[in-house]
Amino acid sequence: MEQDESIIRPSSSAPDHLLVTWKVTDDIYQHITVREENEFLYFNFGKTLYIKDDSFEDLDEILARSIQPLIEYTREILSYRYFLETYKAEQKEDINDYLAREKAADPRRIL
């Protein structure tokens, strides 16, 4: 699965919920719950889909208004020149060591 791909599938939590999963980066996926309301037919989507309090008319609108902006923001973050791809957020000590080395190499630089 590429970084900009998403999958929409039925949720196991409730029959009137869907789950949108999109790849943030390697080994990181975000799952977004979509709630369906005003259902008329058992095998058909209802009138309105919700992510929290935001309403959507169809799945394409969810992808365009909700998922695609998240993907674009993630691309900006990942391409930022100071983004450290080699470190995970849990590795705080390693990150602090890296920043200390960078600061020692150029003390006038703001980190």
How much is the pLDDT for 42? Answer: 57
Domain locations in the chain? Answer: 6-80
The maximal CA–CA distance of the chain, rounded, in angstroms, is 66
Instruction: Quickly state the pLDDT bin for 7 (edges 50, 70, 90).
Output: very high
Whole-angstrom Cα distance, residue 31 to residue 6? Answer: 10
What are the pLDDT digits (tens) for 14-23? 998 999 999 9
Residue type (1 letter), 76? E
Q: Can you name the residues that pair with 19 across neighbouring β-strands?
A: 9, 33
Domain 6-80, what fold?
Answer: SHC Adaptor Protein (3.30.505)
Neighbours of 18 (CB within 10 A): 19
Q: How far apart are CA 34 and CA 49, in angstroms?
A: 6
pLDDT category of residue 34 using cuts at 50, 70 and 90: very high
How far lies 26's CA from each of 19, 20, 70, 106, in Å?
20, 17, 16, 31
